[in-house]
Structure 1
Amino acid sequence: MSEASVFERIVAGEIPASKVFENDRVLAIRDIAPKAPVHLLVFPKVGTYPNVAALAAGDAGLLAELVSVAQHLADEHCGGEFRLIFNTGETAGQTVFHVHAHVLGDPEHTGALTEGTL
């Protein structure tokens, strides 16, 4: 049996996190090392899928739910405008192999998300 991911440990209550959304299948938290004024992580509660491609192939409905939650959070936290990022693979910056989306926003329009800033 593989070791539980940090996200599975957050779901289990073993690691504290600043939750911003939760339902039966999805959890969203504030990133502990934000790269934008708003930086949220949205992920399924199950650790079955290591990346977005595996999730799309295995449960397209859950992927759609992640994107819907991301939109809801962007509406709530940054006026509906956001950048949605899924890192897939170590060389692409993925450090936790439990699919998760980064929701980045700039509600004060500081220029933190202009092209070329990330």
Structure 2
Amino acid sequence: MAGEPQTDCLFCKIVTGDVPATIVRETDTTVAFRDINPQAPTHVLVIPRAHYPDAAALAAAAPELAADVLREAGEVAADEKLEAHGYRVVFNTGSGAGQTVFHAHAHVLGGRGLQWPPG
């Protein structure tokens, strides 16, 4: 069920502390942590504490929580001093788009030139 923790979800396990992560920010509704396979000098994931399989499901079921994730992405960028040179916030939705963990999450990427379109 959407919103409920999933025992087989890596990110749900990070939320509960059962899987370690380098946490950079936490709120009542979100957790932000460093990606273990960074694609830029700064690569932080921002996830809702509640489980939703992807960004579309999160936005449809809990738009206020989706807004929390986006707000925290901005806070991460500020904390990481990315604002002056720009940063990217990416939601991969579906395996064809590169989503590998099916718990909604935003990638905050910065610290180098980020040309468009991405690879």
Name the residue aligned to 1:61. Answer: 64
Q: Residues 51 and 117 from structure 1, CA distance in 2 versus in 1: closer, same or farther, beyond 3 angstroms?
A: closer
Is the Cα–Cα contact under 8 Å of residues 7 and 13 in structure 2 kept in the other structure? no
Aligned residue pairs total: 113
Per-residue CA shift, 1:30-77, capped at 9, x if unaligned? 000000010000001111x10111111101101111100001111111
After superposing on structure 2, the runs of 4+ consecutive aligned residues of structure 1 that deviate more than 6 Å are none
Gaps of 5+ in 2: none
Q: TM-score, normalised by structure 2?
A: 0.87
Letter in 2 for 1:5: C
Identity %: 46
Counterpart Cα distance in 1 of 2:90 and 2:42: 13
Q: What TM-score do the two structures reach when normalised by structure 1?
A: 0.88
Q: 2:77: which partner in 1?
A: 74
Give RMSD over aligned pairs: 1.6
Cα offset for 1:117? 5.3
Cα shift readout 1:80-116 (whole Å, capped 9, x = no counterpart): 221011011111101111000000011xxx43x1234
Aligned match for 2:106, one of 101, 109, 112? 101
Give unmatched runs, 5+ long, in structure 1. none
